[in-house]
Structure 1
Amino acid sequence: MENVRLVDASPEGTVTFEFLIGEGYGNVNGVMHGGAAGVIFDMCTTTALGPLAKPGFWDFLGGVTRTLNISYLKAIPVGTTIRIHARVMQVGKTMALIRGEMTSLDGKIVFCTCEHHKVGVPSQSAHLKHRVPWDEVWDAELEGEEKGKEMEKGEGKGKGLWEKNAKL
């Protein structure tokens, strides 16, 4: 899915992408194949769960699709760049519901919508080691929060977490 570009995301579980519908996603009629919509929705809506994931709760890009219901409203011609927006509607210990839509860039045309139900299952340990560029940002924020808590309790005394953990 090299044709996808992240436009926006939020810690509350929303994500927006732009996606070029290339020839590989088309059918003999010169429009996006319905099965391609399924793959695109599956991948893009799942990423909306990313900011909500934490150890022991929805591993990043984890879980499996239970159902993926797509309503096709208007054909998307090959060569069109679309916008994909996804929003987590509900997330619990084992189930999540995400809604998505593919629209024109200006949002005036809705091409298709989806409702994606996922089941949380443990990820393979090798998959949990995968890092993405924003992991360093989140790690730094988490370290800053924990350092602040230590300072409030009088435990930190200016030492970073890595210094304390190095002694463990």
Structure 2
Amino acid sequence: MSDTKAEADRQKAIRAVEAMFERYRKLADLRPHDHIDFDREVMNNLKIIDAGLDGSVSYELFMSPSFSNLNDVMHGGAAAVIFDMATTTALCPIARPASWEFMGGVTRTLNISYLKAVPIGITVLIRSKVVGVGKQMAMIRGKMTSLNEKVVYCTVEHHKVNTPVLEKHREVRVKWDDEFERDWLGKEAKAKI
């Protein structure tokens, strides 16, 4: 693959992931102002650094005090929310109409192995990769490390079940929707020929 094609694919994958964040924020803005979604802190602070059309995504995340427990390290429950969102978004670049679209279904299991306490006040690297995907089930693996990847703090195996996009979510459009529809309508038309 040429460098130009590889970079175009990378940018497309990043746009697919960013679209989930854009739609999430638009939907969150429709909620009552005093309603704070459990995952909002994560969605507002994950910084996309890379993505691939193979179902991979990498983030940086600052471990703010809102993720801490009384021991001043990341709370295990915070890790679950962080991994839930960071692994689900790996499905965005491989989504198809009616298959793994916005929010990528629902969690069946989320198995986290905590290897080392994550100090509050540092920035971590989170990498997620889809390792298996079908019409109804998907499995994504992820890990949270130091930025130089020398320290592995925790790993995850996330199993998801595909579910239809809620109609009220589909009504909230983002720029990516036009590209997504154009790509898939074009492929469907070619398949009929």
Report the TM-score range of the alignment, normalised by the length of the smaller protein.
0.7 to 0.9
- Aligned partner letter, 2:73: V
**Matching residue of 1:77:** 119
The 5-angstrom pairing of residues 47-126 of structure 1 reads 47-126=89-168
Aligned twin of 2:19: none
1:142 pairs with one of 161, 166, 183: 183
The amino acid of 2:72's aligned partner reads G
Which residue is 1:165 aligned to?
none
Secondary structure at the residue paired with 1:114? strand
User: Structure 1: any 5+ residue segments left out of the alignment?
Assistant: 154-168
* Aligned residue number for residue 80 of structure 2: 38
Normalising by the residue count of structure 1, what TM-score does the alignment of the two structures yield?
0.80
Q: Distance in 1 between matches of 2:55 and 2:74?
A: 27
Q: Deviations over 1:72-115 (max 9, x none)?
A: 00001111100000000000010000000000001111000000
Query: Greater share of helix residues, 1 or 2?
Result: 2
User: Quick one: which amino acid aligns to residue 183 of structure 2?
Assistant: L
Residue identity over aligned pairs, in percent, reads 51
Deviation at 1:27, TM superposition (A): 0.6
TM, length-normalised to structure 2: 0.70
Q: Does 1:5 align with 2:47?
A: yes
Structure 2 CA distance for aligned equivalents of residues 118 and 38 of structure 1: 14
Contact 1:5 1:19 in 2 (8 A): yes
RMSD across aligned C-alpha pairs, in angstroms?
Answer: 2.3
- Higher share in strand: 1
Residues 137, 15 of structure 1: CA spacing in aligned structure 2 closer, same or farther, 3 A cutoff? Answer: farther
